[in-house]
Amino acid sequence: MITSKRLRSIAINLLYAIVGAMMLLPIYYLIVTTFKTQTEATISPLGLPKHLTFDNYINAFNAMNYPRALLNNVLITGSAVIVLILISSMAAYVIARSKKKIYKWMFSIFMVGLIIPFQIAIIPLYKIISSMHLMNTLPGVILINVFCINLPLSIFLFRGFINTVPIELEEAAAIDGYGTFRTFWSIIFPLLKPIVSTVAILDALAVWNDFLTPLLFLQDPNKAVLLQEVYKNVGPFSTNWTAFFPMLVLATLPLVIFYLIMQKSIIDGVVAGAVKG
């Protein structure tokens, strides 16, 4: 009996190992190839590299203008996430707490954005962004990421969470002479920590990996983000894939590191986002 149970557990672990290895194979292939010459990569695509040389990475780093592109990514993602948390938590608070019809109505307008992709508005959006003189600027991309892509879900998540916060706290604050604005920031907002982290994680992933917006709205090569640098180089490097692969690694490295450190919060955030939805 014990041995059959043991056998079962070994079989299950073996299954895990095989499935896990198959999932990882493309990533393994990506990484080992970055250390190879083309001949070596053609002869043994999955073998370990014979030499550990970083020449491919150094060339990729230079071709991508890595520090500047990375900075652009950080600026866009950082600002978008901060703006999203500030404005969507306030909006959601009003929607959750006020009994006025107009706010329920505003909420249903926001929720249109959960189902309808902003891509259908993209041509007029181009015109609006141009007329605001935000074409080829980081604030233009930030605004689109905030309002067109991530705002509805953020408001939705904040509202769901605020509904679970007891209203007695606010009543007590009112007796102490706190104004509405001060009550929100000094009493309610600190209680929203779990949902702030969920929203921040989901929004950061979405903004960082967004390619369409910079592709269309950020055509100045000096303001390119990491994905645009990859895209720019895919043509010139098309026959030289061992030199191109390090760019794929460099473009995703920041998020992979973020994932490895924050793994549990990220997965919890994804789950929380779905359960509230």
Partner 1 sequence: MNAKKRDRVFLFMILPAFIGFVLLFILPTIMSFAYSVTNWSVYKPNYKFIGLDNYVQLFTDTKNIAAIKHSVTYALVITLVQNSLAICFAVLLTRKSIMANMVKSIFFLPAVLSVLVVGFLFQYIMTSADYGLLNSIIRFFGGSPVNWLGNEKIALYSVLSTQVWQWTGWSMVIYIANLKSIDSSLYEAAEIDGASKSQSFRHISLPLLYPAASFNILMSLIGGLKVFDAVFAMTKGGPGYASETIMTTLIREGFNSGRTAYASAFAVVFFVIVFVISKIITFLLNKWEEKIS
Site for partner 1 in 197-226 (CB under 8 A): 205, 208-209, 211-212, 216
Q: Answer whether 259's CB lies under 8 Å from 205's CB.
A: no
Q: Is 66 helix (H, G, I), strand (E, B) or coil?
A: helix
219's tokens? 């055509």
Binding map of partner 1 across residues 6-25, x = CB under 8 A, - = no contact: ------xx-xxx-xx--xx-
The single residue listed with the structure tokens 């090569």 is 221
Q: How far is the CB of 219 from partner 1 (least distance, A)?
A: 11
Among 151, 192, 199, 224, binds partner 1 (CB under 8 A): 151
Residue 191 in the binding site for partner 1 (CB under 8 A): no
Site for partner 1 in 37-66 (CB under 8 A): 38, 41-42, 45-46
| Size of the residue set binding partner 1 (CB under 8 A) | 89
Q: Encode 188-226: b = buried (16+ Cβ within 10 Å), e = exposed.
A: bbeebeebbbbbbbbbbbbbbebeebbebbbeeeebbbb
49's tokens? 């590299």
Site for partner 1 in 228-267 (CB under 8 A): 230-231, 234, 241, 244-245, 248, 251-252, 255-256, 258-259, 263, 266-267
Site for partner 1 in 76-95 (CB under 8 A): 87-88, 90-91, 93-95
DSSP 48: P
